[in-house]
Amino acid sequence: MANRRKSSQGDQEPEQSSKVEKGLRKRRSQRSFPASTFEEPLEFATAVYRIGSGQPVKRLTLFDQLGKSPESGGSRQLIINSGRYGLTRGGVQAENIELTPEGQKAIDEQADPREVARTRVELAIMRIEPFQRLYDKFVGNKLPAHAVLIDAAKDAGIDEDHAAESVDTFVVNLRFVGLLRTLSGAERIITVDMLLGDLPAAPAGSPAGAIVASQSTSVITSEHAQFESTCFYIAPIGDEGSDARKHSDLFLGSIVEPALEPFKLTVIRADAIDKPGVITRQVLDYIMRSRLVVADLSFHNPNVFYELALRHAVKLPIVQIIRAADRVPFDVNQMRTIQIDTTDIYSLVPRIESYRAEISNQVRRALEADHVIDTPISTYYPGLTVTY
């Protein structure tokens, strides 16, 4: 249709024509990599195996067992991304979903750990062409700065609109499959042979993470807040000088704010609201109206969980984080929660970039127009609507 329209307007200015064509190309641009990290599709593949006992599962039955709508945007993305990673067969309208042979190997807890690790590396990195090219370029080296990785992603053929997303996904996948390791005080991309050679007999545990200090001192007036450009940071604040305050300042300044820079969102914590009146009402405004909420569940602070429940009820974009030392309560553990290991500074600092990447990746997905926000409340009360 676009070509017919152009041919019928022979007097169209060349500059205008160029802009139209550029706009069409941009709209048509496709990701050359899956639209999620490897971990979530792997969990989906595990559920396919568990529900079907290794046999193909009817798509409708599968999502009924998972408590999800089979036609929701989130469910469709699970199928698409699992297929793109080579874990499952069957499209969004297929009658059955089944594991591929490689998908079977990737989730087999009884298999040789080296074979499981090799398969996951193959699916998460090597079979995704831009990821393989990034890996081949930087293997054996320290994890480069984010900007350097973005330039390399563009050189690998990823369009500018998706370059940052591809880098975040690549880094998170490296960490998940074990190809990102702290050596000599820095995160380095290791060879597959090194990964397999050092693999313990038992399946590896979950990856850990990183941190560095900074503090946000900006004060925002609630009256002038632009909620569409705001991320409200729900966190255990504590008194000045307390462990909770130091923790919150550290996470805010070193991880959350840098991770949100690409999205042009202003991060606001409750103590940065400077407007006379009832503070509770102002906090509620930010919880219910901000474009994004990042909730830090560390220390199991009661106020944090109260505010988290309100955000869950309105079904708006949310990202959950927590110290690895704290258990994620069962009430909210169905929501993906990024665990950040704060054991000591020597293991934390070198991994900060991969933590930022993981948060950025989840934020990007949460803010997508067709992303479905599944919370414990919406799962059990899908028809619940909150008006204010």
39-105 has which CATH code?
1.10.10
Say which DSSP state 350 is in. G
The alpha carbon dihedral of 49, 53, 54, 59 has a sign of negative
Q: Return the closest-CA partner of residue 188 out of 175, 197, 176, 169.
A: 175
Per-residue pLDDT of the chain (388 residues; tens, 9 = 90+): 444 444 444 444 555 555 545 554 444 468 999 999 999 999 999 999 999 988 999 999 999 999 889 999 889 999 999 999 999 999 999 999 999 999 999 999 888 999 999 999 999 999 999 999 999 999 999 999 999 999 999 999 999 999 999 999 999 999 999 999 887 677 889 999 999 987 765 544 434 333 334 444 445 554 445 788 999 999 999 898 899 999 999 999 999 999 999 999 999 999 888 655 567 888 999 999 999 999 999 999 999 999 999 999 999 999 999 999 999 998 888 889 999 999 999 889 999 999 999 999 999 999 987 777 888 888 788 878 777 6
Contact 289, 226 (CB under 8 A): no
What's the CATH class of domain 222-380?
alpha beta
Q: Where are the domains of the chain?
A: 39-105, 110-197, 222-380
Write down the pLDDT at residue 361.
96
Question: Which amino acid is it at 79?
Answer: I
Write down the pLDDT at residue 51.
95
Distance between CA 132 and CA 50 in Å, rounded? 30
Alpha-helical runs (H) found in the chain: 2-7, 14-28, 39-52, 59-66, 73-84, 101-107, 113-121, 129-138, 146-155, 160-177, 192-197, 243-251, 257-260, 279-289, 302-314, 345-348, 352-366, 376-380
Q: What is the largest CA-CA distance in the chain?
A: 71
Write down the pLDDT at residue 330.
85
Angle at 248 between CA 326 and CA 348, to 5 degrees: 65
